[in-house]
A = this chain, B = another copy of it.
């Protein structure tokens, strides 16, 4: 297998997110988008109903959550389980594919959360340098 070092030598990969036209770029944006990432992250912890999810993903509006869930469901990352009861009950959970993706996303998020002190320190240094 090709080394991960030289992407230039991976010409045989059918999908390349670095190419403007590749559909993988769209999916990447769904996954890493403002609300997509947080939604997948939340669903990684279990199954949730719409409004549970909305409270979990602090700040998301109904519209954006709905829209985000649709995009993720369409991409096959999220499964929507609706029960035709009254009042309605709908549960969302990750698919197998969704779990794979969320796993990587969580790793990224936790890495970031764990390094925020460094990030904030870097910002202060940067701002001090620029102010001069």
CA distance A97 to B119 in the complex (A): 9
CA distance A122 to B112 in the complex (A): 31
User: B37 to A18, Cβ gap below 8 A?
Assistant: no
Residues of B within 8 A of A100 (CB): 111, 115
A5 at the interface (CB under 8 A from B): yes
User: A19 to B108, Cβ gap below 8 A?
Assistant: no
With CB as the reference atom, state the residue of chain B lying closest to A116. B15
Q: How many chain A residues touch the partner (CB < 8 A)?
A: 61
CA distance A19 to B100 in the complex (A): 24
Identify 14 new A-B residue pairs, CB closer than 8 A, beyond the known A18-B56, A24-B112, A97-B119: A4-B55, A14-B116, A23-B119, A24-B119, A27-B119, A29-B34, A32-B32, A75-B119, A75-B123, A77-B119, A100-B115, A101-B112, A101-B115, A104-B111
User: B8 to A45, Cβ gap below 8 A?
Assistant: yes
A residues sitting closer than 8 Å to B (CB atoms) are: 4-8, 13-20, 23-24, 27-29, 31-34, 37-38, 41-42, 45, 55-59, 73-77, 97, 100-101, 104-116, 118-123, 126-127
CA distance A126 to B18 in the complex (A): 26
Residues of B within 8 A of A123 (CB): 74-76
User: B109 to A101, Cβ gap below 8 A?
Assistant: no
